[in-house]
Structure 1
Amino acid sequence: MMTNGPEFLEIFLACSRLGAILVPVNFRLTQPELDYTLKNSSPRLFVFSEKYMDPVRALNLSEELPLLTLSIHHANQYPAGEDNGFTDYHEAVAAFEGKTPHLTPSTGPADPGEAHVIMYTSGTTGQPKGAVLPHRKTFFNCLNADIFYKMDYDDIMLVVTPLFHSGALLIQTAPTLYKGATLVIHPKFDPKRTYEDIARYRVTKFLGVPTIYRALLRVPPAERRDISSLRVSAIGGEKVTVDLLIECGKAGFPLRQVMGQTETSIMLWASEEDFMKKTGTLGKPVFHAEIDLIDKQGKRVPVDSVGEVVVKGPITMKEYWHDPAKTEETMRHGWHHTGDLAKKDEDGYFYLMDRAKDMYISGGENVYPAEVEKVLRKHPKLEDVAVAGMADSLWGETGVAFIIPKSGKKLDPKELLTLCDGKLARYKWPKKYVFCEEFPRTVLGKVQKPILVEANKGKEQPIEKEGNAQ
C-alpha cells in the first residue's frame, strides 16, 4: 500500500520472479475496508508508505494476522529509540544499492496459470472481490498493449494514475518494461506537472481516465506546455462523451479509447480513425481475446441488439480469491461474464449501453441510465449528470437525475425533459431530480451510484411537465 514510486516496481518484479502473489492495495481505503482486504488476502508480508503508519498501526495486525509488516518509512523521521515494530524498507535493501545485479534462476511458477496478482475490485456494491490474475494474463495483456500502443524500445510512457490499479500497473507499466522502454512515474496526478513532464521528457505514450483529461483541459492554454511528442493518448475507465474527445483532440491529445475491467484488463479498443467513422464506438476486440454478446439464456444476440459482454481467452482472471460462489457466477462455460451491456454493428464495432446492474425497470420496461445520460449531457448548462432508478409506489422504480450544473449557471430541470422529447420513450424520462455539488466516485472516476442514491434519499424533487407519463 503505497504511492507510486520505484519501490512499487521493485516489489512487483521481485514477487513475479519469486512466484509470490502481489496484492496492490488502494491507499484511499478507509480503516474497515483496509482491514477487510488484509484479512481476506491474508498476506505474509505487508509493505506500505510511511504516511499510512497510523492507520496501519491502529489495525493491530501483528495480533490478528500471521504476517511480517515492512514499512517504507525512514527511521530518522521518528523519535530516536522508538520501537515501532516495523522494518525500514530502505535500510533492508541498502546492501544492494548501486551494485551489479545478482542474477539467480527464477523460482517463479512454471505454470503460466499460477496466480501473479490479486487485485480487489472497487466494490461499488457489497464487499470488494479479489480478482486472481495469472501470469498468463499479464503476458497476454502486454502483447495486446504492445499492439494497441504500437510500443517500441524508445517509447516514453507517463504514468499518473495509481499503480494499485490494473490500468497503471498492467496496461502501462508492465508492457513498457516488457518492451524495454522508459517509464516516467508521478506519485500523484497534477495537471500542470503532467504538461511539464510531457514536454520535458518528450513523452510518447499516455493513459488517463476522463476525469484526468477534463482536469488537463481546465489548465489555461497559456500555462500548458508542448505535447507534440505524444503519439498515443489512451482514454478509458468510464463513459467518454464525443464532446470530450473533440476537445482533447483540439488540445493536442490524439485519443484512442479502451474498455476493460480489473478481471480482464483491455477487452475493446478504438483507434483515432474509428472515432471519426463510428461515433460513440468502443471499437473492436483486442487481438488476444474472443468477445461476444449474449442474452439471458446464453444465446448470441443479433446485430444491433443489446447483450451482455462475455470474454474468453488468455486475458481473463483465474478466479475470485476464496469466493467460489462468485467465481462460478462470473465464469460460466469458459466465458467470463462482465456485467457490461453493449451492442455490435454489422462491421463488428461494439457500443457500450450500460452496466447490467445499473439497469432499472420502470412500469415493466427496462431502462438503461447510460442511454438517458447521453441525451441529458447535451444540455449547455450541465456540468455532469447521473441517472439511477429509485423506488416508486406507482411504477416500481422511476428515474432520478442527479444534476451538477455548470458554475454560475441556473438550470431548470424541466429543460432536461425538453431534450428527451423525441429522443427517448417517455418511460425513460427521469421523473425526479436532485441538485448535487459533486458525485462520489471510485479511483477511476466512476460514479458510485448506490452511494449517491443512499445519500440523497428523500431529497428528490418531481420534475413538473405536462404529459410526463409512462
Structure 2
Amino acid sequence: MNYDWIKTRAQFDDDDKAAVIDPLKGTEWTYKELNIRAENLANHLQDQGIGRGDVVGIFAPNDVSVIDLLFASFKIGAIYFPMNWRLKPTEIESVIKDSGVKKIFYANKHLSSLQGIADDYLYMDIDSPAYDALVNPEHHKPFKAADVNGDETAALMYTSGTTGVPKGVEFTYESFVSNAINAILTYKVNDEFTTIVSLPMFHVFGFNDLTVPLLMSGGSLVLHRYFEGVQLNDLMAKYKPNYLTLIPTMYYAMLVEPNFDVKNFENVDYLIQGGSAPLLGVQKKFASMGLNIINGYGLTEAPLSLVNTPDNSLKKPMSIGKPVMFVETRLFDEDFNETPVGEIGELAIKGKHVTPGYWNKPEATAKTFHDGYFLTGDLARIDEDGDIFIVDRKKELIITGGENVLPSEVEHVLASHPLVAQCVVVGYDSEKFGEDVAAAVLLTENDPDFKEKLDEHMTANLARYKVPKIYLKVTKMPLTATSKPDKLEIKKMINAKNTK
C-alpha cells in the first residue's frame, strides 16, 4: 500500500495556503512545497544508498526539516527516527547503537552532543545552505513512493528513560496513521485549524498527537523552535490558535509571564495537557478565566488513548476521561482480572495505534502485552461514570515497612500547602524499612522553617508512614529529556542527602 499521504494532501490544498510557518526563520511552506521538499530529499537519500527498512535519524529542534524527513522516509519506505537531543551522552550513545541508524541530520547547535559519539553517522546540518538547496521546492525531482505493508516499521521513537534505559518503540505505518486519525476525530481538527507546536517534535505528544494530525487535516502549523513562556505568549497573540497541547509546567510558564493575556485564547476550542500529573492550581486559574484545561493520556507506546472533555474537566479536573474512538481500555489486577469500580488496577490499552513492540527486544515486548492489551505500568481507578483517574506509576509505588504508599496521594496533600509551588515524592533507601518516603519541593518563598511547617501539615492529613521523612529543597526541579520530573535523579539526590 502507498502511505505517501502528503502527496495526496498537496493535491487537495490551495497552492497559497501556509502549511508550516516558522516565525524564527521567517519562512512559510505550502502543502505543495512540503511535498516537493520531501520528494527532493527522498531522491537524495536514495542516491546515498538509503532504502526500504533503513533507519534515518534527525537530531534537531522544532524545524521544518523534521517534517521533511518524515515525509521523505514514508516515500522511500525508510524508518523515520527523531532523536531526543535532551538525552545525556551515555543515553545518546546507547540509542544510536541500538537503533542501527544509517545517517543523522542535525542542528549545528546540538552538534557537540553528538561529536565523539556519532561521528560516523553525522550527515548534514539542517540549517545549512547545503540543506536548503537540497530541498528547495523551486526545483523538483519527482519521486515514486514505495509500496509498503501496513505492518512494516515506519518510525522509531525512544522512551524518555524516566524509569530506566530508553527503549526503541516501533510504529508501523498502520499504527502511525491510526493515531493521527484518532486525534483528528477527537479534537475535530480540520483545514481551518491553526496550532503552535512548542512541545518537542522528537516526542509522540508533540509529533504524533499534534503535528501529524494537524498536517493530515490540512491545517496550519506554527513552529516554536524551543519552548519559552514569553515567546509562546507572543505567538499566541499573533496566530490565535484553535487548540493547544502542552505539558502542565508549560501552561504554568505562560501564566506567570507579564505578557500573558487571556484574549490570546479567544479562538481556542481545546486546551490539552498531558505528559505528567496536572497542576491543579494552574487548572483552577485558567478555569477562573473561562478556560478549561483538559487532561489527555497517552505514552510513547500508545499515543493519544484517553481524553477528558471540557465540561467534565470542571467536575473532575484530575480525570483523564474515557478512551477515544477505536481504543479499548481495561484495569487489571495482578492476576489479570478486571478490577471493579473504585479499586486500583494497572491501565491496559488496545488499539491499532498501539506499538507492536520494542525494537530488538522481543522479551521486553512479550512482558508488556496481555491478551492483546498493552500494559502501561500506570495504576488507575475507574468511577461509576466510566471516567478513569491515574493514581501512580506501578514501578514508583513505595513499599515502606510492608505498607504501600502512592506518591501521587502524598504529592496531592503536599501541593495543597501554600509554601509548595511544586513537589515530587519518591522512595529512598532505608535500612530500617527497606524504603521510605521523601519529597523534593520547590517553594513559593524562602522560609527557614519550611520543613517543620510541611511536616505539621502532612502529619495532620496523612497516616504517619506516608509522611515524608526527608524534604529536599530545590531551586529548580530536575527534569527528564521530555520535561517530566526526573524521579531517578531526585531519588539519587535524596539518597545522597540521606547518607551524609
Q: TM-score, with normalisation over the residues of structure 1?
A: 0.88
- Equivalent AA in structure 2 for residue 10 of structure 1: D
Check the 8 A contact 2:186/2:325 in 1, yes or no. Answer: no
What are structure 2's unaligned runs of at least 5 residues? 1-58
Do the aligned partners of residues 139 and 146 (structure 1) sit closer, same or farther apart at CA in structure 2, a change above 3 Å counting? same
Matching residue within 124, 131, 137 for 1:89? 131
Q: CA deviation at 1:108?
A: 4.3
Check the 8 A contact 2:233/2:259 in 1, yes or no. Answer: no
Matching residue within 19, 30, 46 for 2:77? 19
| Aligned-partner SS, 1:23 | strand
User: Within 5 A, what are the aligned runs for 1:269-348?
Assistant: 269-348=307-386
Matching residue within 104, 116, 119 for 1:46? 104
Do the aligned partners of residues 194 and 154 (structure 1) sit closer, same or farther apart at CA in structure 2, a change above 3 Å counting? same
- Equivalent AA in structure 1 for residue 158 of structure 2: Y
1:80 corresponds in structure 2 to none
> 1:180-222 CA distances to partner (integer Å, 9 max, x unpaired)?
1111111111222222222222211111101111100111257
Check the 8 A contact 1:434/1:460 in 2, yes or no. Answer: no
> 1:210-264 CA distances to partner (integer Å, 9 max, x unpaired)?
1111100111257776331222111111000322211123356442210111110
Q: Is residue 32 of structure 1 aligned with residue 72 of structure 2?
A: no
2:117 corresponds in structure 1 to 59
> 1:355-405 CA distances to partner (integer Å, 9 max, x unpaired)?
001101111111111111011100001111111112222222211122221
1:249 corresponds in structure 2 to 287
Check the 8 A contact 1:399/1:431 in 2, yes or no. Answer: yes
| Aligned-partner SS, 2:81 | coil
Matching residue within 385, 393, 396 for 2:423? 385
Matching residue within 208, 222, 229 for 1:191? 229
> 1:118-141 CA distances to partner (integer Å, 9 max, x unpaired)?
110011233210000111122221
Write the distance in 2 (CA, Å) between the matches of 1:340 and 1:411: 35
Check the 8 A contact 2:86/2:482 in 1, yes or no. Answer: no
Do the aligned partners of residues 413 and 55 (structure 1) sit closer, same or farther apart at CA in structure 2, a change above 3 Å counting? closer
Do the aligned partners of residues 216 and 68 (structure 1) sit closer, same or farther apart at CA in structure 2, a change above 3 Å counting? closer
Matching residue within 482, 485, 489 for 1:444? 482
1:106 corresponds in structure 2 to 145
Check the 8 A contact 1:124/1:450 in 2, yes or no. Answer: yes
- Equivalent AA in structure 2 for residue 48 of structure 1: Y
Matching residue within 95, 113, 123 for 1:69? 123
Check the 8 A contact 2:87/2:481 in 1, yes or no. Answer: no
Q: CA deviation at 1:415?
A: 2.7
- Equivalent AA in structure 2 for residue 150 of structure 1: K
Q: CA deviation at 1:421?
A: 4.3
- Equivalent AA in structure 1 for residue 305 of structure 2: M
> 1:269-289 CA distances to partner (integer Å, 9 max, x unpaired)?
101111222242111111121
Write the distance in 1 (CA, Å) between the matches of 2:277 and 2:127: 38
Write the distance in 2 (CA, Å) between the matches of 1:323 and 1:4: 29
- Equivalent AA in structure 2 for residue 438 of structure 1: K
Write the distance in 2 (CA, Å) between the matches of 1:194 and 1:73: 22
Do the aligned partners of residues 368 and 293 (structure 1) sit closer, same or farther apart at CA in structure 2, a change above 3 Å counting? same
Query: Structure 1 vs Structure 2: percent identity of aligned residues?
Result: 29
Check the 8 A contact 1:232/1:256 in 2, yes or no. Answer: yes
Q: CA deviation at 1:158?
A: 0.8
Q: Which moved more, 1:158-167 or 1:45-54?
A: 45-54
Write the distance in 1 (CA, Å) between the matches of 2:147 and 2:235: 36
Write the distance in 2 (CA, Å) between the matches of 1:137 and 1:419: 47
1:81 corresponds in structure 2 to none
1:128 corresponds in structure 2 to 166
Q: Is residue 456 of structure 1 aligned with residue 498 of structure 2?
A: no
Check the 8 A contact 2:76/2:145 in 1, yes or no. Answer: yes
- Equivalent AA in structure 2 for residue 121 of structure 1: T
> 1:74-123 CA distances to partner (integer Å, 9 max, x unpaired)?
36xxxxxxxxxxxx4233334xx224x655442141x2221111110011
> 1:310-339 CA distances to partner (integer Å, 9 max, x unpaired)?
111212101111111211111232111100
Check the 8 A contact 1:400/1:460 in 2, yes or no. Answer: no
| Aligned-partner SS, 1:118 | strand
| Aligned-partner SS, 2:212 | helix
Q: Which moved more, 1:435-444 or 1:370-379?
A: 435-444
User: RMSD of aligned C-alpha atoms?
Assistant: 2.2
- Equivalent AA in structure 1 for residue 128 of structure 2: H
| Aligned-partner SS, 2:206 | helix
Check the 8 A contact 1:217/1:251 in 2, yes or no. Answer: no
Write the distance in 2 (CA, Å) between the matches of 1:220 and 1:105: 51
> 1:422-464 CA distances to partner (integer Å, 9 max, x unpaired)?
64333222223222222221233321112111123242499xx
Matching residue within 445, 458, 465 for 1:420? 458
Q: TM-score, with normalisation over the residues of structure 2?
A: 0.83
| Aligned-partner SS, 2:422 | strand
Q: Is residue 141 of structure 1 aligned with residue 179 of structure 2?
A: yes
Q: Which moved more, 1:196-205 or 1:301-310?
A: 196-205
User: Within 5 A, what are the aligned runs for 1:206-285?
Assistant: 206-220=244-258, 226-251=264-289, 253-285=291-323
Do the aligned partners of residues 223 and 108 (structure 1) sit closer, same or farther apart at CA in structure 2, a change above 3 Å counting? same
Check the 8 A contact 1:41/1:321 in 2, yes or no. Answer: yes
2:31 corresponds in structure 1 to none
Q: CA deviation at 1:411?
A: 4.6
Check the 8 A contact 2:83/2:202 in 1, yes or no. Answer: yes
2:32 corresponds in structure 1 to none
- Equivalent AA in structure 1 for residue 483 of structure 2: G
| Aligned-partner SS, 1:240 | coil
Number of aligned residue pairs:
442
Do the aligned partners of residues 458 and 183 (structure 1) sit closer, same or farther apart at CA in structure 2, a change above 3 Å counting? closer
Do the aligned partners of residues 194 and 6 (structure 1) sit closer, same or farther apart at CA in structure 2, a change above 3 Å counting? same
